[in-house]
C-alpha cells in the first residue's frame, strides 16, 4: 500500500506515537510507585478470574443503578476492543499489501461483520453520552467537559474514517468485502458515482492515512485523558481489596512516625492508583448521602482533586521531597468534605473499578486528630467521655448494667462462663431506645433457651465511632481492653445487635491482634477464632430451627431500613427479610433505596456525635422515603438507625409512623 519513503515516514510516526503514549504513562507509574507499600497480589488465580469476569462481561458497568448507561458503555468498550484489533491490522497493511489479520477464515468473515456492527453501536453510544453530558447535564458529569468533547470527537472521527477506508478498500478490491455490510453499501454508492479507478485508488491511499493518523493522535492523547481508565481500570479491579468494605486497616502506633494521611506521600501506591483509575462517571457522587443532602463532600471530587494534585506535583513526588508538598487538608480538601462522610460505603459499592474512598477520608481524619489535634469542637467532649467512662454519653461506667437490674440477666463476672456473650454496646446500655432492644434480646435468648451472659460494668465501647472519627489510638486502647476481657472469660461466641459492633469485632479486631504485644501467639489465635453473630442471623436461624415460635403481626404493613454496616458492608440482606416475612407475610414494602443500595441514616462514621450543620439532615431524606412507602412502621436492625429515623419522623411531625428494631418485633410476636 505504501511506497518505500512512506513506510519510513510511517515507522517514525509509530515510534513517535509510542513515545507520546509511553512517556506520560511512565510518569504516572513513577508517581504511583512513590506511594507506601501495600500487599495486593495474593491469590492471583482468583483475581485474574474475577477481573476477566468484571471487565470482559462488563459487570463493572452493567449495574442496576445505571443499567442503560452501562449498556451504552458496553457498546463503546467492545467497539474499542474491535477497533483496536483493526488498528493492528491497519498498521500492518501499511507494510504488507492487502493484509488481513484473520485471513480467509470463517472467523475473519464474522469479524468483518462485527466491525461494522460496532461502528454503528459506537456512534449510538457517543450520541447518547453527548446528549446526556452536554444537554441533560446531570451533576455527576460536570467535570472536564473539554476532555469529554475531545474523546467523543475522536471516537466519531476514528469510526467514520475507518468506514471511509473500508468503503474505498471494497470499491478497489470487491473480494475484500466479506460480511462488511456498511463498507459494501458505501462501496456500491461509490461505484454509482462513476469515479475513475485512479480517483478510487487515491481515496484509498488518503483514507488509510487519515484513519491511521487519527488513531495515533487518539493513542497519544489517551494518557492525558479520563479515557486512560481503559488501562488503569482493569488493573485497579485486579488489585481490589479482598476484605469487607467496612474494614479499616490498622496503624502500628508504636512504630509509625506519621499517623494517617497528612500529605499525598503518606498514601499507599494503591491509593494513588485509585486516582488514575477514576472514570469520572459520578456514580459515587450520585449514591453519596452527604452529597445528596447538600454537603460539600463528593466522593468523585475526592479522587478528581487527588489526581490533579498528583499531576501538579509529579516531579517532586519521585524525589521524595515530602516537605515541599502541601497538606491534603486544607491544601486539597476542606473540612466540609472530610468531616461529613458517614462511611456508608455507597460510593465504593457502585464504583465500576473498585476505588476505595473511605480509607482516604478516614486517613485524613486520623492525621487531623492524632497529629494536628484539629477536629470538630463537639468531638472534644465525645473523646473525653470515652476516655473517662468508656461510652460516648459520659455516663458512669458503673451504671452500664443498670438497664438489666429487673431482668435477671446473668453477668459473666458471677457466672464465669457462658456459651454466648451478649454484647450490649453503648447504645444498648445507656440510650433509652437501645435499652428496649437489649431487653427484647434478653427475652428472646431466654425463650430460645440459650446459655448467655453479659459483661455489665466491665464492657467498654467497641471503638467504632472513635476509629472512624480518626482517633485510632483510642480505638486500639478500647480494643485491647475488650480483647483482654474476651480472653479472661474464654469467650467463643459473641452476639451483637449493633452493626457497627459486629463489623468491628468480626473484621477489625482480628487485624489489630498482630500489633498487640501483650497477647501470646496462642492468645491471638483464640481471639481470632471468636465467632461474631449478628442478631438478625441468629434470630432467623432460631425461627427456622423452631426454637422460636412467632405469630403473624396485625400491622397493616411495614418496611425495612437496611443498615449500611449489615447490608452493604457485610452482605446481610436476606436474613432480616426472612424474619419480617414470617412476621408480616406479604405486607413488607421495600423502600426506594434498599438492600445493597440502601440510603444511610446519617449516623455512621461517628457522625452520630457531630453537629450536622451543612445542607439538609441526612435522616430527613431517609425519613421521606419511609413516609413515601405509606407503611405504618419501619423496622431497623441498628440502634443508631432507629434513633435517627425516630428523630426524623418526630421532626416531620409523623409520630404515627413507628420505628422498631427487628428484635423488638420478634419479642412482641413470640408465642407464649
pLDDT at residue 546 tops 80: yes
Q: For residue range 356-403, what is the model confidence (pLDDT) as tens digits?
A: 999 999 999 999 999 999 999 999 999 999 999 999 999 999 999 999
What region does 80 belong to: left with phi over 0, alpha with psi -120 to 50, or beta?
Answer: alpha
pLDDT for 42 equals 86
pLDDT at position 68 is 85
Rounded Cα distance, 269 and 88, in Å: 32
Q: Mean pLDDT across the chain, nearest whole number? A: 94
514 versus 532: the higher-pLDDT residue is 532
Residue 258 maps to a domain? no
Quick count: other Cβ atoms within 10 Å of Cβ 135? Answer: 7
Q: Are residues 470 and 554 in the same domain?
A: no
Residues 529, 565, single domain; the answer is no
Last residue of a domain, one of 497, 515, 538: 538
Whether residues 230 and 307 share a domain: the answer is: no
Q: Which of residues 538, 566, 600 is at a domain's end?
A: 538
Which of these, 118, 87, 119, 120, lies nearest to 101 by C-alpha position?
A: 87
Same domain as 418, residue 345 = no
Reported confidence tier of residue 317, pLDDT bands at 50, 70, 90 = confident
Q: Where are the alpha helices (DSSP H) in 289-407?
A: 289-292, 299-312, 328-331, 335-338, 346-350, 358-370, 379-389
> Within this chain, do residues 292 and 211 fall inside the same structural domain, yes or no?
no
> With a threshold of 0.85, does the pTM exceed it?
yes
Question: Rounded to whole angstroms, how far apart are CA atoms 6 and 534?
Answer: 71
Quick check: is 382 in a domain? Answer: no
Q: What is the mean pLDDT of residues 577-582?
A: 96
Residues 188 and 45 placed together within one structural domain of the fold: yes
Q: Are residues 366 and 399 in the same domain?
A: no
Instruction: Please indicate, yes or no, whether residues 534 and 561 belong to a single structural domain of this protein.
Output: no
Question: What is the pLDDT at residue 65?
Answer: 64
Whole-number Å distance between alpha carbons of 119 and 639: 54
Q: Are residues 228 and 356 in the same domain?
A: no
Residue 249 in any domain: the answer is no
Range of the domain at 296: 264-370
Distance CA 488, CA 616 (A): 46
How many of the other CB atoms lie within 10 Å of CB of 269?
18
Residue whose C-alpha cell reads 494521611 in the numeric block: 261
pLDDT at residue number 485: 97
Report CA 666 to chain centroid distance, whole Å.
Answer: 33
> Which uninterrupted H or E stretch holds 551?
none
Residue 671: band (very low, low, confident or very high) from pLDDT cuts 50, 70, 90: confident
Mean pLDDT for the stretch of residues 261-281: 96
CATH code for the domain of 637: 3.40.50
Give the confidence band of 129 by pLDDT, cuts at 50, 70, 90.
very high
Residue 378 included in any domain: no
| Residue 15 domain-assigned (yes or no) | no
**Does residue 501 lie in a domain region?**
yes
> Locate cell 497529629: which residue?
371
pLDDT in tens, 239-248: 999 999 999 9
Neighbours of 19 (CB within 10 A): 11
Final residue before a domain boundary, out of 339, 370, 401: 370
Q: Looking at the domain assignment, is residue 20 inside a domain?
A: no
pLDDT digits (tens, 9 = 90+) for 426-466: 999 999 999 999 999 999 999 999 999 999 999 999 999 99
Is 228's pLDDT higher than 90? Answer: yes
For 245-295, give the DSSP string: TT--PPP-TTT-SS-S-SSGGGSBHHHHHHHHH-----HHHHH-HHHHTT-
Q: Grid coordinates representing 407?
A: 431482668
Structural domain tally of the chain? Answer: 4
Residue 626 lies in a domain: yes
Q: Tell me, what's the pLDDT at 320?
A: 65
Q: Which tens digit of pLDDT belongs to each residue from 145-202? A: 999 999 999 999 999 999 999 999 999 999 899 999 999 999 999 999 999 999 999 9
Beta pairing partners, 493: 531
Reference 480, options 457, 460, 495; nearest CA is 460
Over range 516-527, report the average pLDDT: 94
Residues 506 and 398 in one domain: yes
The mean pLDDT of 14-25, rounded to a whole number, is: 97
Q: Measuring CA to CA, how many Å separate 86 from each of 11, 170, 180, 187, 217?
A: 18, 16, 13, 19, 16
CATH code assigned at 288: 1.10.1060
For residues 49-77, average pLDDT? 85
Judge if 228 and 81 occupy the same domain. Answer: yes
Same domain, 527 and 559: no
Amino acid at each position: 500500500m505504501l511506497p518505500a519513503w512512506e513506510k519510513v515516514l510511517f515507522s517514525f510516526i509509530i515510534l513517535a506515537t509510542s513515545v507520546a503514549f509511553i512517556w506520560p504513562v511512565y510518569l504516572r507509574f513513577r508517581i504511583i510507585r512513590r506511594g507506601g507499600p501495600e500487599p495486593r497480589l495474593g491469590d492471583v488465580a482468583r483475581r485474574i478470574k474475577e477481573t476477566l469476569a468484571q471487565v470482559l462481561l462488563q459487570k463493572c458497568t452493567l449495574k442496576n443503578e445505571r443499567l442503560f448507561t452501562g449498556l451504552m458503555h458496553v457498546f463503546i468498550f467492545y467497539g474499542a476492543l474491535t477497533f483496536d484489533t483493526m488498528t493492528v491490522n491497519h498498521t500492518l497493511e501499511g507494510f504488507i499489501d492487502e493484509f488481513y489479520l484473520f485471513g480467509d477464515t470463517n472467523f475473519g468473515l464474522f469479524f468483518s461483520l462485527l466491525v461494522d456492527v460496532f461502528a454503528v453501536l459506537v456512534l449510538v453510544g457517543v450520541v447518547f453520552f453527548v446528549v446526556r453530558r452536554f444537554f441533560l447535564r446531570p451533576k455527576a458529569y460536570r467535570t472536564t467537559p473539554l476532555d469529554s468533547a475531545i474523546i467523543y470527537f475522536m471516537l466519531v472521527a476514528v469510526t467514520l474514517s475507518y468506514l471511509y477506508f473500508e468503503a474505498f478498500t471494497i470499491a478497489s478490491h470487491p473480494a475484500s468485502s466479506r460480511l462488511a455490510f456498511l463498507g459494501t453499501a458505501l462501496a456500491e454508492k461509490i461505484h454509482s458515482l462513476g469515479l475513475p479507478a485512479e480517483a478510487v485508488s487515491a481515496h484509498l491511499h488518503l483514507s488509510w492515512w487519515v484513519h491511521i493518523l487519527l488513531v495515533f493522535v487518539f493513542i497519544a492523547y489517551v494518557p492525558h485523558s479520563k479515557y486512560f481508565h481503559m488501562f488503569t481500570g482493569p488493573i485497579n479491579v485486579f488489585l481490589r481489596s479482598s476484605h469487607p468494605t467496612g474494614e479499616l486497616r490498622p496503624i502500628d502506633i508504636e512504630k509509625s512516625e506519621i499517623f494517617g494521611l497528612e500529605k499525598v506521600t503518606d498514601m499507599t501506591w494503591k491509593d494513588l492508583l485509585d486516582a488514575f483509575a477514576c472514570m469520572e462517571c459520578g456514580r459515587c457522587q450520585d449514591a453519596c448521602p452527604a452529597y445528596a443532602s447538600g454537603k460539600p463532600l463528593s466522593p468523585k471530587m475526592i479522587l478528581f482533586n487527588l489526581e490533579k494534585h498528583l499531576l501538579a506535583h509529579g516531579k517532586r513526588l519521585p524525589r521524595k521531597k515530602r516537605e515541599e508538598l502541601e497538606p491534603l487538608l486544607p491544601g486539597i480538601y476542606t473540612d466540609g468534605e472530610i468531616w461529613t462522610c458517614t462511611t456508608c460505603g455507597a460510593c465504593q459499592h457502585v464504583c465500576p473499578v473498585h476505588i476505595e474512598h473511605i480509607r482516604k477520608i478516614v486517613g485524613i481524619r486520623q492525621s487531623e486528630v492524632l497529629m494536628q489535634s484539629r477536629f470538630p469542637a463537639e468531638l472534644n467532649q465525645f473523646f473525653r467521655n470515652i476516655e473517662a467512662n468508656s461510652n460516648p454519653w459520659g455516663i458512669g461506667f458503673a451504671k452500664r448494667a443498670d438497664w438489666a437490674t429487673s431482668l435477671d440477666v446473668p453477668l459473666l463476672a458471677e457466672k464465669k462462663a457462658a456459651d454466648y456473650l451478649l454484647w450490649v454496646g453503648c447504645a444498648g446500655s445507656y440510650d433509652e431506645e437501645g435499652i428496649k432492644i437489649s431487653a427484647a434480646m434478653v427475652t428472646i435468648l431466654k425463650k430460645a433457651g440459650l446459655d448467655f451472659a453479659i459483661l455489665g460494668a466491665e464492657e467498654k465501647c467497641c471503638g467504632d465511632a472513635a476509629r472512624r472519627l480518626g482517633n485510632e489510638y483510642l480505638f486500639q486502647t478500647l480494643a485491647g481492653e475488650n480483647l483482654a476481657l474476651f480472653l479472661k472469660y474464654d469467650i467463643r461466641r459473641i452476639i451483637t445487635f449493633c452493626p457497627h459492633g459486629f463489623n468491628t469485632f468480626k473484621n477489625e479486631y482480628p487485624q489489630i491482634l498482630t500489633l498487640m504485644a501483650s497477647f501470646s501467639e496462642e492468645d491471638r489465635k483464640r481471639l481470632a477464632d471468636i465467632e461474631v453473630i449478628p442478631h438478625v442471623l441468629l434470630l432467623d436461624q432460631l425461627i427456622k430451627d423452631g426454637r422460636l415460635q412467632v405469630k403473624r403481626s396485625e400491622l397493616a404493613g411495614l418496611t425495612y431500613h437496611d443498615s449500611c454496616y449489615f447490608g452493604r458492608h457485610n452482605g446481610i440482606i436476606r436474613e432480616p427479610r426472612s424474619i419480617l416475612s414470617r412476621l408480616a407475610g406479604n405486607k413488607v414494602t421495600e423502600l426506594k433505596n434498599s438492600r445493597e443500595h440502601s440510603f444511610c441514616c446519617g449516623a455512621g462514621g461517628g457522625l452520630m456525635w457531630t453537629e450536622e450543620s451543612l445542607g439538609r439532615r441526612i435522616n430527613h431524606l431517609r425519613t421521606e422515603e419511609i413516609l413515601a412507602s405509606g407503611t405504618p412502621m419501619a423496622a431497623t436492625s441498628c440502634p443508631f438507625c432507629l434513633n435517627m429515623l425516630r428523630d426524623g419522623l418526630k421532626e416531620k411531625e409523623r409520630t404515627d409512623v413507628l420505628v422498631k428494631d427487628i428484635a423488638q418485633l420478634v419479642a412482641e410476636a413470640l408465642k407464649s
